[in-house]
Amino acid sequence: MAHGNVVEDLLMRIGFVVDSACDLPGDYLHRHGFTILPITTRIDEATLVDDRDPAVRQRFLDEDLGTRAHAAETEPFGVEEIRDLFLRRLVVDYDCVFCITIASSRSGIHANASKASFAILTDYRPIRRDAGVPGPFLMRVIDSENLFAATGVTAVEAVRLRESGMNPGQMRERLEYIAHNTFGYMIVRDLYYMRARAQKKGDRSVGWFSAALGTALDIKPLLRGYRNTTAPVAKVRGFDQGAETLFGYIAKRVRTGLLTPTVCVSYGGRLDELDTLPGYASLKQVCAEHGVEVYEAPMSVTGMVNVGTGAVTIGFASPEHEFGG
């Protein structure tokens, strides 16, 4: 019997779902069969369905929608939409699906997916039976506890674990551990935008005085996402210097040792601009020397709506540390 279970584990078809704010390269998501949960954004009269379609992102940039996106309304996939997506397709295509979401403290997607999972696991049996698919269906919802590029770290690890033949129980334990130990760092260009967006969402973390002071002196905060909390960890003079400081620090963490051989980076503009930022080439060189793969992705429309265009986010899994240490 034990041998049979091992065989079943090896033959189990495991799929992945992420929301559109998970910043990973489009070809990577396509190659590994990721399903995207879209997020709808309404900016004045414009409605954009963010499913990581490059054309939607290009429209956002070409029409300069970011200049007025601080007042945008965003709407994640609802409970019924997630339920319908799974029952229409995923419960037949896969035997187990991991749904990896943006931080539950920042979005309702995790709560919606968790609620939908109860209905999915109740209703899937006749659908699989009618399709001639034997056996049970499993669904696991994983809170990445982080944002944007940092969410990608857990998703990349999920692919690695699937390819290693790990069973769903082991995968879940490992993915929750990685999510809980992933650090996401971000530097933004426009504090006024961040303040306006935060006020729109009822987040008082960016005050008027700090926004005005930061703009006047060109002081930029380095923000850290960690275990569902986002907070500033340092201040630097100028965006370029901030980027160089951030990249240099992450190179130090790579040398110290990461929990997964992965660094994910996203940029809220043309991706080729990333290579022009000071310190980035050095970071990539250090990663190459230490066997760490760098995944570069354009920031989602959802990400740019929330933090402004031109922002950089970067994530990696690491033992606990303090910035600068």
Query: Are 21 and 161 members of one domain?
Result: yes
Instruction: Determine the Cα–Cα distance for residues 7 and 313; give it in Å rounded to an integer.
Output: 40
Query: Are 174 and 186 members of one domain?
Result: no
Query: Are 73 and 176 members of one domain?
Result: yes
- Convert the pLDDT of each residue in 204-234 to its tens digit: 555 544 555 556 667 788 899 999 998 888 8
Position 306 confidence tier, pLDDT thresholds 50, 70, 90: confident
Number of domains forming the structure of the chain: 2
Amino acid 10: pLDDT:
45
- pTM listed for this prediction: 0.91
- Whether 206 is in a domain gets the answer yes
Amino acid 239: pLDDT:
92
- Whether 287 is in a domain gets the answer yes
Query: Are 153 and 207 members of one domain?
Result: no
Average pLDDT, the chain: 89
Query: Are 111 and 207 members of one domain?
Result: no
Place of tokens 């290579």: 275
Structure tokens at 75: 């709407």
Query: Are 311 and 226 members of one domain?
Result: yes
Q: Which domain holds residue 278?
A: 181-317
Quote the percentage of the chain above a pLDDT of 70.
89
Amino acid 193: pLDDT:
72
Residue 90 CA, distance from chain mean position: 21
Instruction: Among 86-90, 166-170, 204-208, 239-243, name the one with the lowest average pLDDT.
Output: 204-208
Instruction: Determine the Cα–Cα distance for residues 15 and 174; give it in Å rounded to an integer.
Output: 16
Query: Are 161 and 61 members of one domain?
Result: yes
- Whether 123 is in a domain gets the answer yes
- Convert the pLDDT of each residue in 95-120 to its tens digit: 999 999 999 998 899 999 999 999 99
Final residue in a domain of this structure, among 165, 180, 195 = 180
- Whether 174 is in a domain gets the answer yes
Query: Are 164 and 274 members of one domain?
Result: no
Spell out where the chain has E strands. 14-19, 35-37, 39-43, 46-50, 73-76, 96-101, 138-143, 182-187, 219-226, 229-237, 262-267, 293-298, 312-317
Amino acid 106: pLDDT:
86
Final residue in a domain of this structure, among 180, 215, 241 = 180
Query: Are 262 and 113 members of one domain?
Result: no
- For residue 79, what is the domain's CATH number? 3.40.50.10170
